[in-house]
Structure 1
Amino acid sequence: MKKQIIQTDHAPAAIGTYSQAVRVGDTVYLSGQIPLDPTTMELVNASIDEEIHQVFRNLAAVAEAAGGSLADLVKLNVFLTDLAHFGRVNEIMRGYVPEPFPARAAIGVASLPRGARVEADAVLVV
């Protein structure tokens, strides 16, 4: 199968050697999103809630560019520098991802790019 590179100006540009997403058939692999504002490329980090919301907005923009939405998520990985924020991720995620929820992992990490406190990547089937 041929792979299709997904790119949108409605999500942050890649800050490394990766694509925002790659589609192969009906499966879309979304690269990790940190809470960068896609217009300014500045970290949105006044609060952990603001960071989580921005991550989900960024994921949604890439999913839309791939012809899907967060309703098409089948796997979500969330990386947190403090697992104490796990509950906030759950609460905020409900506003972006409808039931039935995707398979998911929440992983505690020592640090994330640009000093972010949260990052998420995902797999969609559209």
Structure 2
Amino acid sequence: MAHIVETSTPPNTPTPIGPYNHIAKVGPFLSIGGTAGVNPATGQLAGTDIYSQAKQILQSFQVMLESIGSDLEHILHVNIFLKNMQDFEEMNRAYVEMMGDHLPARTVIGVNELPKPGVLVTMNLTAVTNTKL
């Protein structure tokens, strides 16, 4: 049986800045593309600091995951792209607050630039739905 890839950008999440949807899902597997710490209500960055931006990203992930039958506890892997590695500890503070005891595989990469001005961090992830296969 062929699996069809479904894509979506749920309400109450940041508007993508390019020609893409935030979520791609096939069967129980899903991927959320690069997301910045943009407050979906205002369209502006959640703050100028790493903590505010990282927390907003994870809040957006929570909304996105719930829109397709998943949650933060079903994340398999997170990629984090930091403009400044000196922000690592403050990013982790927001990460632990949102993720709690669920600590999936993770990669942190230092980058020179990110597409949206003022963005200090972006993240993407791979997860599964919370329904049985």
TM over 0.5: same fold?
Answer: yes
Matches within 5 A, 1:13-92: 13-92=15-94
Instruction: Determine whether 1:119 maps to 2:102.
Output: no
- Partner of 1:8, secondary structure, is coil
- Which structure 1 residue ranges, 5 or more long, are not aligned? none
1:90 positional shift: 1.8
- Which structure 2 residue ranges, 5 or more long, are not aligned? none
Q: Which has the larger radius of gyration?
A: 2
Instruction: Provide the TM-score with structure 1 as the length reference.
Output: 0.93
Superposed CA deviations along residues 27-85 of structure 1, whole A, max 9, x for unmatched, are 11001110111122112223221111111111111111121111110010000000111
CA RMSD of aligned residues (A): 1.2
Over the matched positions of the two proteins, sequence identity in percent amounts to 24
Instruction: Determine whether 1:101 maps to 2:127.
Output: no
Aligned residue-pair number: 126
Contact 1:80–1:108 (Cα < 8 Å) also in 2? yes
- Partner of 1:54, secondary structure, is helix
Contact 1:76–1:103 (Cα < 8 Å) also in 2? yes
Contact 2:51–2:93 (Cα < 8 Å) also in 1? no
Moved over 3 A (4+): none
- Partner of 1:9, secondary structure, is coil
Distance in 1 (alpha carbons) for counterparts of 2:111 and 2:37: 16
Superposed CA deviations along residues 87-126 of structure 1, whole A, max 9, x for unmatched, are 1222211121133411100000001122200100001111
Amino acid at match of 2:123: A
**Which stretch shifts more, 14-23 or 86-95?**
86-95
- Partner of 1:124, secondary structure, is strand
Contact 2:83–2:121 (Cα < 8 Å) also in 1? yes
